Structure 1
C-alpha cells in the first residue's frame, strides 16, 4: 500500500502548519536565480578544476556536479541508497570525488567517468565530514563521524591508516573538519574539528600517527594547565573555516552566532556575528562575512565594521552550505529546499539589491505566485534527516 509523504495529510500543530504554508508561499520565488534539484542538498564544494562548477551532496544518495553558469546538472555520481552528508574532491590530480554517507561508509567515484570507486569502511555511525589532504607525498582522506571517530585513510589503497580519538573522551559527534593552512607542513597536517558539543578541538596527523593538541587553559596562570578544546560557543558547532590570509578560525554554531577566533589571541573570540538562529555555514571575502542557516537568510556583513550590510532572501528551507565563486564576487548557497542560488557580492550589485529590497518592503514589487514544493523522502526519512541536521547531543 502506498504511503503519502504530503505533510498536509498528517496532524499538524498551528505553528507547524503556519510554517508549512509560509514555505509553500515562498517556494516560487526566483531570488538568487535558483537551480532546482530533486532532493535536499546537505553540502557543497567548489570544483578545484573548474571555476564555474560545484559538487553538491544530496539526500537522495548522489553527488551532483553543477555548472552554475550553464545550469547543467546532468553529471551525477550514484550508488548509495542513503543520504550523503558531505563531499570533497581529491586523490591523484584531484580526479576522485569522495562523499560521507549515512550508511557509515565513505564512497568514491572517478570524477570523469562517474564510476564508483573504493568504499572506505571503518565508521560505526553516520560519516558527517570528509576532507582531502596530502601527507608526505601521499594522497590521504580524513573523515569524521557521529561515532566520534576521526579516521585517516590512504586514498590509493583504501587502507585505514589509523583512528584518532580525543584524550579526555568528551568528544561528541563530529560535524566538520577544517585544515589549518598556516601550521600544516608537508609531513604533518594540523586540523580542527567541530562537534555536537561546544568545543572546537585541534589535531595533528602524520602518515603513521595522529593526536589531539591540547590548548592552554590560561596563558597568564603561574602554572600551565591544559584543556581539551577551544570553548567559545554555547552549544554545537557546525562549520569551521580558516582564513587563509590571517590564519584566524571562523566558526558557525547552533547558538545562533558565527565567530572569528583569533590565532594571535590563542583562539579567543575576536568578533561575533549574530545570525539569530542556527548558523550552518560561514564564508569570507576581504570585504564581507557571509552567514546562513536555519532561518533561511543569507546575511552579508561588513568585515571592517562588523555591521549587517544586507540580507539576501530566497530560500524557503534551512540553508546548509555556502561556497565562494568568481574570486569572491559571488556566493552560492544550497539548501534543504533543493535549490542552488547565486548572490552577487560586488558593491554595485549589493547596492542594487538593497534598493530592490526597500522597494519590495514598500509593496512596489509584486509578489510571486505560491508553488508548493514536493519532497522525495518519506515522513519517517524527513524526521530522521531533521534530527540529524539539528543534532546537539
Structure 2
C-alpha cells in the first residue's frame, strides 16, 4: 500500500498493485503535515498543525489502516509537530516539535511515556537507529542530540549532546555502516559523530560556502559528496582531513569534491567523477585516485545543465540550455552523438539500466527517448502540463518523470504510454530509484519526500 497525507486534511491509502484509492481517512481538523506507518503495516500515524497563526499546536492521530478508524489522538505538544519516527519493533512513537521538545509515546496505550526537553528551540528532525536504541535529533539552536531510548524513564534522558555547530542544523543522517551520524549546518561545517561513544570524529570546514544543503554517503561509508551553493567556485579536489578534536589525531579522511560543479556523477567502479557547470559549457573528468582533473568535454553552445553516465560506464550523457543532448565516449573523450528535438532547456538526462535508451526532460514539458547505440529517436512522451525537471530510467523499458505540474508519471518506453500517474500537492523537483528497481523516492517543493513502490 501507498499512504499519502494532504493539506486537504485527509490521509489516503492506495493500492500499489491496482494503483487505485482504497480508503480515505478523515478526522484531522487541519492540514496533515506528514504521516508514518508502523513496521507491521497495520497503523498510520498522521500529524497536523492546528490553531490560529498566533497560537499553534500539533495533534498526532493513530489510525487503523484496514478500517480507517481512529485508535488514538495524541496531544501534548504546544507547537507544530515537525517530524515523527516509529521504533523498529513498532511499540513506540517519537515526535519532534517546534515547542523544543521530543516526546515518546506508547503505541499500545496511546500514552505519553517520556518528554525530552534539552533543546532550546525548534526541533527540526528526528531519526531512530536500526536497532531502535538511539534517537538522533537536530535543532534550530545549532545542536545535535543523541537520546538513549532504552532509558526513557530516567531523569537525565539526554545520552549525549554533540557541541560544535554554531548555526542551524538542517540535515542529519546515519552512515550505512551504522557507526556514524553526520550533520550539516548553516555554519559551513559538516560533522561526523561516533555512535559508539558519541564523540566527535571530525569536522569538515567548507571555506567560502554559505550552506551545505544536503549530502550523500557512499555505500562503503568512506566518501561524502556535498551539495551546496557557492559565491566563489573552486575547481579542485581537496582531501578533507577528519581529526578528533580531543586527541588531535587524524581518524580517517574523506576525499570529496568541493564545488566541482552544480551537479556530478561517479563512474560505476568509483574511479572517476564527472562534473558539470552552469557557468560553463563543458564538463570536467576527475580521477579520484590521482585527485586531479584528467579530462574536459566541451561542445555545447550554452551552459551544461545536467549529466548522467551509462550503467556500463562507457558513455557520458549531457544536457544543456542549448536544447541539445550529447553522448560522449568516456574512454576516448570524443562526442559520438548529438540528440536534437527539444525546444526548451534540457533539465535532466538518464540512461536505462540495460544501457539501451537515453531519456531526457525539458522546459518544453516533453520527455524524449533515444536509442543509445544508434541515436535514433524512440519517441516523444507528452502528458505533463508543466516543466519536467527530472527523469529516471527503470528496468523493463520503463521510466519515471517528475514535473512542476504536481505529478510523477511512469512511462512504458515500448508502448510510449503513461501507465501510472501519481498526483502530489506540490510540484516535484527530483526523483530517484532504489537499487531494488521498484522503490521510487521523489522530492517536492514543499520539502517533502514521497516513497512509492512499483509492482508488476
TM-score normalised per structure 1: 0.55
1:321 aligns with 2:441: no
Matched, 1:99 2:103: no
SS at match of 2:281: coil
CA distance in 2, matches of 1:130, 1:66: 22
d(CA) in 1 for partners of 2:342, 2:291: 36
Match status 1:178 vs 2:287: no
Aligned residue for 1:328, secondary structure, equals coil
8 Å CA contact 1:256, 1:276 repeated in 2: yes
Map of 1:247-258 to 2, 5 A cutoff?
Answer: 247-258=356-367
1:183-194 alignment, distance < 5 Å: 184=313, 189-194=314-319
Tell me the TM-score normalised to structure 2 length: 0.48
Counterpart position of 2:267: 133
Aligned 8 A contact 2:226 2:258 in 1 = no
Indicate whether 1:28 and 2:32 are aligned.
Answer: yes
- Choose which of 277, 281, 286 in structure 2 pairs with 1:145: 277
CA contact (8 A) 1:240 1:252 kept: yes
Q: Which runs of 5+ in 1 are unaligned?
A: 1-24, 39-59, 216-228, 348-393
TM-superposition CA deviations, 1:310-364 (whole Å, max 9, x none): 3322342x322112236233211012321111122225xxxxxxxxxxxxxxxxx
Q: What CA deviation, in whole Å up to 9, does each residue of 1:159-210 have, x standing for no partner? A: 22233322xxx4322222211235x4xxxx421111122111122334xxx6
Q: Which residue of 2 aligns with 1:307?
A: 417
| Further displaced range: 251-260 or 101-110 | 101-110
CA distance in 2, matches of 1:337, 1:181: 31
Return the structure number with greater helix share. 1
Task: Name which structure has the greater RCO, CA cutoff 8 Å, separation 6+.
Answer: 1
CA 1:296–1:165 in 2, change beyond 3 Å: closer, same or farther?
same
Q: Equivalences for 1:1-393 in 2 at 5 Å?
A: 28=32, 30=34, 65=173, 75-77=182-184, 78=190, 80=206, 81-82=209-210, 95-103=222-230, 104-105=233-234, 117-118=254-255, 120=257, 127-133=261-267, 139-146=271-278, 147-166=280-299, 170-182=300-312, 184=313, 189-206=314-331, 211-215=333-337, 229-245=338-354, 247-263=356-372, 265-283=374-392, 284-286=394-396, 288-316=398-426, 318-325=427-434, 327-346=436-455
CA RMSD between the two structures = 4.2
In terms of Rg, which structure is larger?
Answer: 2
CA distance in 1, matches of 2:286, 2:417: 42
Aligned residues: 266
- Partners of 2:238 and 2:171 lie apart in 1 by 10
Give the conservation status (yes or no) of the 8 Å contact 1:31–1:341. Answer: no
Task: Answer 1 or 2: which has greater strand percent.
Answer: 2
> Residues 84 and 178 from structure 1, CA distance in 2 versus in 1: closer, same or farther, beyond 3 angstroms?
farther
Q: What residue is the counterpart of 2:127 in the other structure?
A: none
Instruction: Name the CA distance, whole Å, in 2 between partners of 1:252 and 1:266.
Output: 16
Q: Which runs of 5+ in 2 are unaligned?
A: 1-28, 38-45, 47-81, 85-96, 98-167, 185-189, 191-204, 245-250
Offset of residue 143 of structure 1: 0.8
